[in-house]
Structure 1
């Protein structure tokens, strides 16, 4: 969600910086980039190490509240092509899950801001035991959708998110925002979501299915 659908990373960086500086610490842009895509409770541990004397739950609450306030004040800044692709996918009958390490209340804010029923379900950071880059969140989404993860396409903007989706077994489209994905395990790397449409998604899924079938035939011939 953050950085892929909506460009909220600047909101998070501002919230992190203000919190850490309020405890006399310093927070560089490089520090902030290291947090992109991480689970909130993992991020809280890093912030505690910077001298913030709050519990992990308190840090998550503070950061999330600040980001939600910024979304309320300034809006959800949708990334180019995001809403258009979501809407086209829904019109084509493609099922969709939002897999994010943000908590459900914040994810719901963003989903509501879309103005239409964009997702069949949400899997959020406060609902999984293992955050990204662990594959648990994507596997949970596929299971709840009732589909094989190998038939799913994940769209991610962070190395952590791409790694999570790749480990789960999904087809991975990387759309970098504030961090580079050149060394990340993507199947397709795009500069923007304006570069992909529903036909492109279907083609990717068909190519994966054809490749899997071909590999299975080779194995049968060897057997």
Structure 2
């Protein structure tokens, strides 16, 4: 028998719902080069999932001589312009959002991006899906702290331990697990390594409502291909 669906699904945005990471990398690279520095792919991957203030500090170390707030605003300006012209949804994301909406499962966006960018990136989301949005400029402690996920569950009025959080980055996964949410890692730019209590998939195309119900009920599903980092193909009880 398929278990009941989770009380809510809590979604990361960048790299999980939409493929905005190339836009962030392009904005970072342009800003560092403007100040005569160099910015590599490896540098950019260090920033995936981190609060924007942390990213700004690393850009300052790379030579960007601007105040933290101005660095953040310059980055947001760049990515807003990118997604305004073209938003790339991750495979399977819109279908899963629509299925959850039709099944009556509330969804929240939990992102370290600021609200003005998150609203622009989500303007093409299926109607009536993301009823709550928690953004990086609205929390005291960003990912990997559990505060963003705890805040989302609180606003939705649900027990976070009855929610499924969906993430792609190490800081995001750490935040979700620390909050007590059942957590699904979807591999994108950085490897999703095996962790206790973490379900893993290579793509949201491999996820349906039945899988989310099982994860929400406490199963740990590992559907990572055998050539992906870490163990794969496991299904264990949690």
Same fold by TM-score greater than 0.5? yes
Deviation of 1:182 (Å): 1.4
Q: d(CA) in 1 for partners of 2:196 and 2:80?
A: 31
Equivalent residues of 1:123, 1:137 under 8 A apart: yes
Unaligned runs of 5+ in 1: 209-214, 216-223
Matched, 1:107 2:118: yes
Equivalent residues of 1:130, 1:136 under 8 A apart: yes
Equivalent residues of 1:162, 1:184 under 8 A apart: no
More strand by share: 2
Q: d(CA) in 1 for partners of 2:76 and 2:143?
A: 18
Structure label with greater radius of gyration: 1
Q: Point out 4+ residue stretches in structure 1 off by more than 6 angstroms.
A: none
Deviation of 1:51 (Å): 1.2
Unaligned runs of 5+ in 2: 1-12, 220-237
Deviation of 1:11 (Å): 0.5
Q: d(CA) in 1 for partners of 2:39 and 2:190?
A: 17
Equivalent residues of 1:162, 1:186 under 8 A apart: no
Alignment RMSD (CA, Å): 1.4
Match 1:202 to one of 188, 196, 213: 213
Equivalent residues of 1:173, 1:186 under 8 A apart: no
Match 2:50 to one of 8, 20, 38: 38
Equivalent residues of 1:159, 1:184 under 8 A apart: no
Equivalent residues of 1:174, 1:190 under 8 A apart: yes
Matched, 1:119 2:113: no
Q: Give the equivalent residue in structure 2 for 1:12.
A: 24
SS at structure 2 position matched to 1:112: coil
- 1 or 2 for the larger relative contact order (CA 8 Å, sep ≥6)? 2
Q: Give the equivalent residue in structure 1 for 2:41.
A: 29
SS at structure 2 position matched to 1:93: coil
Matched, 1:79 2:90: yes
Deviation of 1:184 (Å): 4.8
Q: Give the equivalent residue in structure 1 for 2:179.
A: 168
More helix by share: 1
Change (3 A) 1:65 1:174: same
Q: d(CA) in 2 for partners of 1:160 and 1:85?
A: 23
Q: d(CA) in 2 for partners of 1:140 and 1:156?
A: 16
Deviation of 1:113 (Å): 1.3
Task: Report how many aligned residue pairs link the two structures.
Answer: 208
Equivalent residues of 1:162, 1:185 under 8 A apart: no
User: Per-residue displacement from partner, 1:180-216 (whole Å, max 9, x unpaired)?
Assistant: 01145552110100111112212222346xxxxxx9x
SS at structure 1 position matched to 2:184: strand
Change (3 A) 1:79 1:118: same
Match 1:60 to one of 61, 72, 75: 72
